[in-house]
Amino acid sequence: MDFQRRDVVITGGTGGLGTAVVDALLNAGAICHVPYIEESEAERFPHRNHPQVRLMRDIDLLREEVVAKLYESVPKLWASVHLAGGFAMAPLADTKRAALLQQVELNLVTSFLCCREAVRSMTRTGAGGRIVNVAARPALEWRTGAGMTAYTASKAAVAALTVALAQEVAKDGILVNAVAPSIIDTPANRRSMPDADHAAWPKADEIARTIAFLASPDNKVTRGAIVPVYGRV
């Protein structure tokens, strides 16, 4: 995959999966624009001093004007990868309206606003581009979302957004897809599920390679896909 001189926005790029995605894109030659809010995110980000990384502070992805300025600052956007989001584990009977709306905002609204500004930017250049969202296994297999219904509903909405938008912008050479992870092998997930078969979980760098392909010029035909990245779970 060749991303030489191609600008890519990666939201959530300072997180566990985000770091792996940025690493894969840097190795392919991309210029990575990574928004964040807290300074501690940048301090622990291993690629913060890389010459092809552009860290962008105080980017609240729920504020329309902030997201618009973020994408306006990237001169020739090629790809936009949306990893930012949130998770909440709770049965429906214990989920308040505020908790539901929080999941919708963190997962659907951030993806929607970033997709919108990415499409506007790519349309201005006329060169097409790639968009990759992150759904989740419960977005495809609803019954697996029992006990986390607010999260499941918000991620199912991300999947629907992805497929509808893919059809809408295909004529402009913009290919939109999403990945749907199961339980990603991270230190936090291992701590919360110490007795699970961790070897079966997909690794962040494995998922990152799938995302990198979907965002790459090598992907010439795949659009509207919600790609399962389940590992052996």
pLDDT digits (tens, 9 = 90+) for 193-217: 999 999 999 999 999 999 999 999 9
Q: What is the pLDDT of residue 233?
A: 82
Distance CA 137, CA 180 (A): 5
Whether the predicted pLDDT of 1 surpasses 90: no
Residue 31 CA, distance from chain mean position:
17
**pLDDT (tens digit per residue) in 32-71:** 999 999 999 999 999 999 999 999 999 999 999 999 999 9
Identify which of 113, 71, 118, 86 has the alpha carbon closest to the alpha carbon of residue 215: 118
pLDDT, tens digit, 9 for 90 and up, residues 100-109: 999 999 999 9
Question: Binning pLDDT at 50, 70 and 90, where does residue 186 land?
Answer: confident
- For position 102, what pLDDT does the model report? 98
Residue 188 pLDDT: 84
Query: What's the chain's average pLDDT?
Result: 97
Average pLDDT over residues 148-169: 98
Domain ranges of the chain: 7-229
CATH number for domain 7-229, candidates 3.90.1150.200, 3.40.50.720, 2.60.40.650, 3.30.9.10: 3.40.50.720
Q: How many CB atoms lie within 10 A of CB 137?
A: 19
Instruction: Note whether 7 and 75 are within 8 A (CB).
Output: yes
pLDDT band of 151, cuts 50, 70, 90: very high
Strand order in the sheet with 226-229: 53-56, 31-35, 7-11, 77-82, 129-134, 174-181, 226-229
Q: Could you confirm whether 36 is annotated as catalytic?
A: no
pLDDT at 75: 87
Is residue 29 scored above 90 in pLDDT? yes
Percent of the chain residues past pLDDT 70, beyond the cut: 100
Q: What is the pLDDT of residue 57?
A: 96
pLDDT of residue 187: 85
Local structure of residue 106 (DSSP, 8 states)? I
Contacts of 216 (CB under 8 A, 6+ apart): 1, 2, 3, 28, 79, 130
Residue 86 has pLDDT above 90, yes or no: yes
